[in-house]
Structure 1
Amino acid sequence: MSELRIDGVSRWYGNVVAVNNITMTIGPGVTGLLGPNGAGKSTLIHLMSGFLAPSTGSVTLDGAKIWHNPEVYRKIGLVPEREALYDAMSGWKFIEANAALHGLPEPREAARRALETVEMTEAASRPVGTYSKGMKQRIKMASALVHDPSVLLLDEPFNGMDPRQRLQLMDLIRKIGAEGRTVLFSSHILEEVEQVASHIEVVVSGRHAASGDFRKIRRLMTDRPHRYAIRSSDDRALAAALIADGSCSGVQLDPKNGLQVQTVHFGQFSRMVPRLAASAGIRLFEVAPADESLGSVFAYLIES
């Protein structure tokens, strides 16, 4: 069992700070690295896989620094977001070449096991350039698993996959985590992460925003203040009723855009508004969230 440790790590490029003073520990099992696009997820994975040196702080695997340490690299498998494949090679030859580069004594046998693991043996004789996006993701997974690493790092592994391929890969990731290996995969979609990961780390704008199991993170996201835009047959009367009810933390009447309402208990609010409007003889034309972009959700986490 292996443990990745990121301790006070920052990484910058000139005046651009990609990650800022992040500390986290990734242990055995499946961990989801969650954050919006541009949050610093890929930079963190590159730091953990030894492709980048931290500007400050340290990145270690079982106490050994990762940067410029080939012995540690042998324990790590990486599935990058970018495709770095040789389209003219067959899937079989590509995986076998990776096995040989790792110095495995029987590269062909190692390639066979890896291809079987990702269910790519039937297509292994075809050139990689003929593969679909989902098949290329699986062949990248095979190349990461061919040397039987104790740590597996995956950068947005579900991108471009159809629903069936996504479910297959989710099952494989769960299986690898259940074997006691340390698995980290990044995503900007909470639903993907909570279906696979037992633990979630959230990064926003290069900073560590939250850490815990997916229930805790989901609770943080859903219990934040929510804003709604409401249009009705009588916005002024509805605003007065909402204020009198006391279930909203803020109500603003905009003659052009209707009501802007802020509430924390969004489930309770969504059930209460129709009843309140009906009792006052008011027709509701629209009740819509005004701040449900992923960016606004993550921004709330970083401010909490």
Structure 2
Amino acid sequence: MEHRKPRTKGSTVSDLDLRGVSRWYGNVVAVNDVTMTLGPGVTGLLGPNGAGKTTLLHMMAGFLAPSRGEVLIDGDATWRNPAIYRKLGLVNEREAVYGFLSGKEYVRASAKLHGLPDADAATRRAIELVEMADAQDRRMDTYSKGMRQRMRVAAALVHDPAVLLLDEPFNGMDPRQRMHMMDLLHRLGAQGRTVLFSSHILEEVEQVSGTVQVIVAGRLAASGDYRTIRRLMTHRPHVFAIRSSDDRRLAVALMASDSVAGVTLGKDGLTVHAGDYGTFTRALPRIALDEGVRVRQLIPSDESLESVFSYLVSA
């Protein structure tokens, strides 16, 4: 499922394509036959530690050659192609900064490496974007980990890239910094940039992006909107929270339906376990009408990203 955003004035919209990509180290397969296309917007790369997320990001960024397959940005291979860095920004997981530099000097060095004609103006804009102007003249070894992370994002954005790759970008951030970074990623995606960030924290991905690429044991296990993915898992039970005008009467009627595996009656309504999402949601209105019961609330209670992730990992 692809989500296309409008073009921005300052950046050219770019697509990132992986075609049958694998990467192995001797007999160890880190990434196995991954195919995906990422366009403008924010996408979460989700998977447990060791799933292959970092290896995948490094191939996207041109740091690693695929053992098989192709990684392309706008049709150009990322491996051994320095020209792609004009449109690509990367914040990798390993933190490597020169502590003796001020934040401003660090970001300006990135601007100079990109050969920007007005490095000072680009540095100022990037630092303002991550809200670090008040601390830009301090040495980076005096920063907290979250502050260093934000300055690293500024360095990755200094040349106004169309594609931004971030490996565990929220590491070390306090709650306020996390909320700011989430808002920034939303804005970058809305501007038409292709933003991919990896995380093993379900809450982070769920808050930033509804669109996910789930990597399990080096393979692409699922792709698209996680709610849609959950609903397509017809072999897994679905759980619904229901409140109605007569919960007891509705519970008795639902127990007689083939689409229902179990019903629990509580003080806050019904918890219904259904074998198939579509069959149950089509049957419920008819059952309620036949019983003269008004359904006041119907909430799928296991459509969280955590639910999807746990199903995929245990599959």
TM band (smaller chain): 0.7 to 0.9
Matched, 1:102 2:114: yes
**Alpha-carbon distance between aligned partners in 2 of 1:65 and 1:248, rounded to the nearest angstrom:** 50
Spell out the pairing of 1:124-273 with structure 2 (5 A cutoff): 124-219=136-231, 224=236
Equivalent residue for 2:313? 299
Secondary structure of 1:72 counterpart: helix
The CA deviation at 1:191 is: 2.3
Aligned Cα root-mean-square deviation (Å):
2.7
Spell out the pairing of 1:111-130 with structure 2 (5 A cutoff): 111-130=123-142
Correspondence for 2:81 among 45, 69, 76: 69
**Alpha-carbon distance between aligned partners in 1 of 2:233 and 2:167, rounded to the nearest angstrom:** 23
Q: Residues 129-168 of structure 1: CA distance to partner in whole angstroms, max 9, x if unpaired?
A: 1111111110110010001100000101112211111110
The CA deviation at 1:178 is: 0.4
What amino acid is the match of 2:53? K
Correspondence for 1:57 among 43, 50, 69: 69
Secondary structure of 1:122 counterpart: helix
What amino acid is the match of 1:13? Y
Contact 1:6 1:23 in 2 (8 A): yes
**Alpha-carbon distance between aligned partners in 2 of 1:25 and 1:72, rounded to the nearest angstrom:** 17
Runs of 4+ aligned residues of structure 1 deviating over 3 Å after TM superposition are: 217-226, 245-249, 292-298
Contact 2:58 2:64 in 1 (8 A): yes
Secondary structure of 2:134 counterpart: coil
**Alpha-carbon distance between aligned partners in 1 of 2:75 and 2:116, rounded to the nearest angstrom:** 25
Contact 2:88 2:164 in 1 (8 A): yes
Structure-1-length-normalised TM-score: 0.75
The CA deviation at 1:34 is: 0.8
The CA deviation at 1:194 is: 2.1
Q: Residues 26-71 of structure 1: CA distance to partner in whole angstroms, max 9, x if unpaired?
A: 1111111111111111111101111111000000001111111111
Secondary structure of 1:165 counterpart: helix
The CA deviation at 1:220 is: 6.0
Contact 2:127 2:133 in 1 (8 A): yes
The number of equivalent residue pairs is 249
Structure-2-length-normalised TM-score: 0.73
Contact 1:202 1:211 in 2 (8 A): yes
Contact 2:14 2:39 in 1 (8 A): yes
**Alpha-carbon distance between aligned partners in 2 of 1:205 and 1:264, rounded to the nearest angstrom:** 29
What amino acid is the match of 1:103? G
**Alpha-carbon distance between aligned partners in 1 of 2:97 and 2:209, rounded to the nearest angstrom:** 28
